């Protein structure tokens, strides 16, 4: 679960960076729910993994939360149109 959430978070961040390109801001409408699913997977991974092996899941959670926050801020500024 930790590796999956980490890869999910990396993909969400790459998608978020792609949505920074003008006229591709609409990609945030799809990236935010994608990152929410990744954050849920990371939370499950943190819950079921031994305390000493939670690093990947924690990193995946952080990456997904950053993608959600930045994507939401971008939507608030431009509405996803630009």
What does the alpha-carbon distance between residue 73 and residue 69 come to, in Å, rounded to a whole number?
6
What does the alpha-carbon distance between residue 18 and residue 71 come to, in Å, rounded to a whole number?
11
**What was the pLDDT predicted at 81?**
65
Question: 41-53 pLDDT, tens per residue?
Answer: 999 999 999 999 9
Average pLDDT, the chain: 91
Indicate the DSSP class of residue 25.
Answer: G
Question: 1-60 pLDDT, tens per residue?
Answer: 889 999 999 999 999 999 888 888 888 899 999 999 999 999 999 999 999 999 999 999
**What was the pLDDT predicted at 25?**
84
Confidence (pTM): 0.90
């Amino acid at each position: 679960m930790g590796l999956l959430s980490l890869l999910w978070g990396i993909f969400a961040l790459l998608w978020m960076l792609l949505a920074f390109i003008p006229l591709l801001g609409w990609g945030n409408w799809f990236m935010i729910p994608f990152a929410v699913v990744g954050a849920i997977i990371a939370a499950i991974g943190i819950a079921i993994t031994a305390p000493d092996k939670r690093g990947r899941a924690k990193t995946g959670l952080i990456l997904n939360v950053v993608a959600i926050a930045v994507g939401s801020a971008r939507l608030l500024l431009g509405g996803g149109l630009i």
